[in-house]
Chains A and B, each alone.
Chain A
C-alpha cells in the first residue's frame, strides 16, 4: 500500500454513546484511510448506524473523540459536517418527497452555494450563472448513475430502488471527500445490487472518494470493501480484510451463534 492511501482521513478514538441505560456504542476505535472502502458489519442492534449518526453529528458521543482531517468533529454543529466534505445517505431514505429528482440533487449542492440571500432574491447575473453551473455539475452525476429518465419526476412517485440511487446521487452532488452509505443495498433486487457494487467501486476509483458504509449483504461487502469492521452489541469484534473478518470465530458466533459455548450469551456475573 502506498503512502497516499495509507494516511488517515477519519479516525474514531474510543467513542462511546449511552442512551439512558443502554450503552449503544462502547469504546469503539477505528481509522478510515484515504481512498479506501471501509465497511461496518454486524447483527441488528450492533450500533453501526449509531456510529454513522455520531460522525454526522446527529448524536454527540458520551465520551471519545472523532477527528476528520485533523479537525475534531465533536466540536462542530451538525450542519457544518457537510461543508467539511462528509456526505451521507440514510438507511430508510430521507429524500425531499415533494420535490423533483433534479431539485433534490441541487439541494445536495447546498454547501457549494456561492450566492447570498439578496442575490437569490433578485436573481442577479451571479445567481443565474450559479444556477446553470450547478445544473452542469448535477448533470454529470445524473449521467454517472443513469438517472436521466427520472430527472424531472417527483420523488413521491418513484419506486424504492430508484429512490435509493437518487439518495446516493444527492450525496455525490455535494462532491464529498468522505461518503457515508447506510445500507446501500437494502431493499434492492439482485440486479440493482450488482449496479450498486459497480457504482461504489467507480466512486472510489474515478472520483477518489473515500467510502464508509454499513452493509449486511456479505457478497457486496467482500466485492467492494478494502477493510471490514465487525461490531456486536456496541463493541468491536474484529477488524481486517473481508475474508479475515468473515472467518473470525467471534463474527461467526455473533451471526450464527455457537453450539459449544453459550457463555457469551449470558450476561457477565449471572
Chain B
C-alpha cells in the first residue's frame, strides 16, 4: 500500500500525485504517440473513435457525473458541432478556427438548453433534454439548404492553408491533441473552485446555495462546458465519418453517450475513457462472437441492442461505480492483500436529509 507523505500544499494541488502516476501516464502517452506505427490501419481508426468519444464523454461526465444533471439529448450537441464543422470546412475555413466555432456554437446551444435545468430536476430534466434532442434532429433534417437534409452531406478533410490532414495518421494526432487538451481542462476545473462548486451542487443544492454558490450560474456553466466538449467531439466525428445525416444524432446516439459514462463510472474522469473504450470495442466483440453463436442468436436482428441493454442492467445492479469502480476495487485488493473485505466499497446509507426544504 502506498502512503503519500505530503510536505507542501503545492504537492496536494499537483495532477500527478506520485511517481507512479508520472510513470504510467507517461508510458500511456508514449504508447499513444507511437500507435500509428504500431497498430494496423483499422485499429488506428478505432482508436481515433475512442479518442473522439472520450472528448464527448468528458463533457457528459462533467455534467452528469460531477454536476448531477442528466442529459438524454447530448447527441444534439454532438450534431451541432458536427454540422458547424462540416459547413465551415466545406467553406474552406482552417480547422483551428472551425473547431473553436463548432465548440462555441454548441456551448451557446448548451446555455439555451441549460435554462430549463434551473427549474427542473432529475427525471424531468432528462425528459426536457430528450425533447430538445428530438427538436434538433428535426432541424437537421429540415434545414436542407445548410445540412442537406435527410440526403446527408459530405465533409471535406480538415486543413489549414495548403496543408490538408487527409491521412488517418495526421487526423489521429489532431484527435489526440484535442483529447489531451480537453482532459487537462477538465482536470484543472475539477481541482479549482469552479469544479468544486459543481460537485457541491450535485451532492446538496441547499447547502451549496448557503455556501454562496450561485446555482443558476454554475448549472448553466456546466451545461455550456459539457456542450462545448460534445461539439468539439462532434466536429472531429464529422471528419472521421466524412458523411453526416440527421439519423446519426438521434435518441439512440444520446443513449449510447449516457451509457458510456454510466458504464465507465459516474464521477470519475477515467470513467469517460473506459466508457469510450467499451462503447467502441463492444460492437467488435459482438461481431467476433457472432461466428461462434448459433445462427438463431448470432444472426438475430437487435442483438447489439439486447446485449447493450443487458450490460447496462448488469452494471447498474452489480457495479454502480462502473468500470472505474471495478478497477479501483481490483487495485485495492492487491494493494492491501490479504486484507481486502467484501464490504469495503459498500455505500453507507446516507443519514436523513432535510427533504422538507426542497
The answer to whether B203 and A170 touch across the interface, beta carbons within 8 angstroms, is no
Query: How far does the alpha carbon of A103 sit from the alpha carbon of B9 in the complex, in Å?
Result: 14
Query: How far does the alpha carbon of A157 sit from the alpha carbon of B214 in the complex, in Å?
Result: 28
CB of A222 within 8 Å of the partner chain: no
The answer to whether B195 and A107 touch across the interface, beta carbons within 8 angstroms, is no
Known: A90-B354, A92-B353. A120 touches B13 (CB 8 A): no
Tell me if B's interface is mostly helix, strand, loop or mixed: helix
CB of A128 within 8 Å of the partner chain: yes
Task: List chain B residues, Cβ under 8 A from A157.
Answer: 348
Task: List chain B residues, Cβ under 8 A from A98.
Answer: 199, 202-203, 267
CB of B204 within 8 Å of the partner chain: yes
Task: List chain A residues, Cβ under 8 A from B189.
Answer: 120-121
- Enumerate B198-226 residues with CB–CB distance to A below 8 Å: 199-200, 202-204, 206-215, 221
CB of B130 within 8 Å of the partner chain: no
CB of A243 within 8 Å of the partner chain: no
CB of B12 within 8 Å of the partner chain: yes
CB of B357 within 8 Å of the partner chain: yes
- Enumerate A123-145 residues with CB–CB distance to B below 8 Å: 123, 127-128, 130-132, 135-136
Query: How far does the alpha carbon of A88 sit from the alpha carbon of B206 in the complex, in Å?
Result: 11
Contact partner of A90 among B185, B202, B207, CB < 8 A?
B207
Interface residue total, chain B, C-beta cutoff 8 A = 39
Contact partner of B351 among A80, A102, A160, CB < 8 A?
A160
The answer to whether B212 and A79 touch across the interface, beta carbons within 8 angstroms, is yes
The answer to whether A107 and B200 touch across the interface, beta carbons within 8 angstroms, is yes
Tell me if A's interface is mostly helix, strand, loop or mixed: helix
Contact partner of A95 among B185, B204, B209, B213, CB < 8 A?
B204
Q: B350 — nearest CB in chain A belongs to which residue?
A: A97
The answer to whether A170 and B211 touch across the interface, beta carbons within 8 angstroms, is yes
Q: B354 — nearest CB in chain A belongs to which residue?
A: A92
The answer to whether B354 and A120 touch across the interface, beta carbons within 8 angstroms, is no
Task: List chain A residues, Cβ under 8 A from B208.
Answer: 96, 107
Task: List chain A residues, Cβ under 8 A from B185.
Answer: 121-122
Interfacial residues, chain B to chain A (CB-CB below 8 A): 9-10, 12-13, 185, 188-189, 191-197, 199-200, 202-204, 206-215, 221, 267, 347-348, 350-354, 357
5 A-B pairs closest in CB distance: A82-B212, A120-B192, A94-B207, A96-B203, A111-B212
30 contacts across the A-B interface (CB closer than 8 A): A58-B210, A78-B210, A83-B212, A87-B210, A87-B211, A92-B352, A94-B204, A94-B206, A94-B210, A96-B203, A96-B204, A96-B207, A97-B203, A98-B199, A98-B203, A99-B200, A107-B200, A107-B208, A110-B213, A111-B212, A120-B188, A122-B188, A123-B188, A127-B192, A130-B193, A132-B13, A156-B347, A160-B351, A163-B351, A174-B212
